[in-house]
Amino acid sequence: MNYNEILKKGENLLKKNKIKNPYLDTELILSKVINRKREEILLNIDNKLKNTDITRFKSYILRRQQKEPMAYILGYKYFWKYKFVTNKYVLIPRPDTELLIEQTLKYLPNDKSKKILDIGTGSGCIVVSVLKERPKCLATAIDISIKALNVAKTNAKLHQLENKINFINIDIDKYKSSNYDLIISNPPYVNSIDLNRLDDDIKFHEPKLALSGGSDGLKEIKKVIIKSKRLLKINGKLILEIGYKQKNISIKILKENGFYINKISKDLSRKDRCIVSTKL
Task: Kindly list the residues in this chain that would bind ligand GLN in the complex (CB under 6 A).
Answer: 94, 186-190, 198, 202, 211, 241
Smallest distance, Å, CB 267 to ligand GLN? 9
Smallest distance, Å, CB 211 to ligand GLN? 5
Calculate helix-pair angle for 22-34, 51-65, nearest 10 degrees: 140
Nearest to 278 by CA among 165, 263, 7: 263
Nearer to ligand GLN, 10 or 207 (CB): 207
Smallest distance, Å, CB 21 to ligand GLN? 18
Smallest distance, Å, CB 189 to ligand GLN? 4
Are 99 and 242 in contact by the 8 Å Cβ rule? The answer is no
Smallest distance, Å, CB 168 to ligand GLN? 20
Degrees (nearest 5) of the Cα angle 259, 264, 267? 140
Nearer to ligand GLN, 10 or 187 (CB): 187
What radius of gyration do the chain's Cα atoms show? 21
Alpha-carbon distance values, 40 to 35, 46, 256 (Å): 10, 11, 57
Nearer to ligand GLN, 188 or 236 (CB): 188
Nearer to ligand GLN, 58 or 94 (CB): 94
What DSSP designation does 48 have?
B
Nearer to ligand GLN, 207 or 236 (CB): 207
